[in-house]
Amino acid sequence: MIRKPKLIMIEKMVHETKSIVSLYFHYIPAGCENKDGQSTVPFTPGQFFMIWLPHLDEIPISVSFFEPPDYWGISVKIVGEATRALCGLHVGEQFGVRGPLGSGFEIISSPGIFFGGGVGLAPLRPAILRKVRDKQKPTVVNCAPCGEDLLFHGEFEQLAQENGIDYYFATEDGSCGCQGLGTELLVQVLEKFPSKTRIKYLAACGPERMLVKALDIAEKFKVLLFQASLERMMRCGMGMCGLCAIDPLGLRVCKDGPVFSGEVLRKCTDFGRKVREFTGHKRDL
């Protein structure tokens, strides 16, 4: 794979919430094209793309859908100029894709628990869908400020009905599901597991302060493996420039991450506290 952007055409757009749009497209990374039309694209759920908007910007966005050999989806929350432009595109229009990049979630044999806040559900979704495809029944915990912001809510409700996944959701204003914070719901969900069975796997993505709480909870419940996906400013996306380094371990979110284990995150004093800006200046999260 050559990590240079390649222009793709948008095939489908889904307005998921008032600020999150999913974009679907066919894409084979540069250098992975195969003459017989078969591509071998290595992908692990949790990986991300650098998305290029010519004349504007290139930003890291998680992969939220992959159907081999070459059908991909990303889910984008409008937070700034580039994401606004991306979400303002239409079917048939183009943008550039580079990747997939970074490390992914560990896909272990146990069904696992997937905990996402807001657009944090996006990188978890390919892992959840892979579990469903493998006839496992993962537990999904979804949370957002209000019902309108619950990402993939309809899809997970359907998966709960048709495939038997355990789906829980909460909103801060109580407009949909339980009222309260996602971390409060997570505790309730973990308490449902029989006290003698050790929970094997918990994957989380969302606002970093929420992830800090999720790690505390995972440790309290002695979860065997906790993994969380982080977000940082990036340039190269391939472990060269060092902009996304988290201290004191000097790990690169784009290459060593974005998915890190709880054990590693516990040693990162930056986790939940500090991020680097484009200059390299470190500021409070």
Partner 1 sequence: MLETNIASLKLKTPFILASGILGVSGSTLAKVFHAGAGAVVSKSIGPVPRQGYNNPSVIEIFPDTFLNAVGLANPGIDEFAGEVKIAKDQGTVIILSVFGGELQEYGEVAKKAEKMGADAIELNISCPHAHISCIGADAQRTSEVVRLVKSQTHLPIIAKLNPNVTDIVEIARSAEKAGVDAITAINTVRGMLIDIDAKCPVLANKSGGISGKLLKPIAVKVVYDLFESVKIPIIGCGGISDWRDAVEFFLAGASAVQIGSALWKGFEIFTELAKGTKQYIVENKAKNLQDIIGRAHKA
Binding site for partner 1 (CB under 8 A): 2-5, 7, 31, 50, 52, 54-59, 94, 96, 98, 234-243, 245, 247-250, 252, 255, 276, 278-282
Q: Which is nearer to partner 1, 140 or 245 (CB)?
A: 245
Shortest distance in whole angstroms from residue 100 CB to partner 1: 14
Q: Which is nearer to partner 1, 2 or 194 (CB)?
A: 2
Shortest distance in whole angstroms from residue 223 CB to partner 1: 27
Q: Which is nearer to partner 1, 131 or 252 (CB)?
A: 252
Shortest distance in whole angstroms from residue 218 CB to partner 1: 25
Shortest distance in whole angstroms from residue 101 CB to partner 1: 11
Contacts of residue 265, Cβ cutoff 8 Å, sequence gap at least 6: 211, 215, 228, 271
Distance from C-alpha of 254 to C-alpha of 226, rounded to nearest angstrom: 19
Q: Which is nearer to partner 1, 93 or 216 (CB)?
A: 93
Q: Which is nearer to partner 1, 178 or 241 (CB)?
A: 241
Q: Which is nearer to partner 1, 153 or 255 (CB)?
A: 255
Shortest distance in whole angstroms from residue 174 CB to partner 1: 40
Distance from C-alpha of 237 to C-alpha of 255, rounded to nearest angstrom: 7
Shortest distance in whole angstroms from residue 50 CB to partner 1: 7
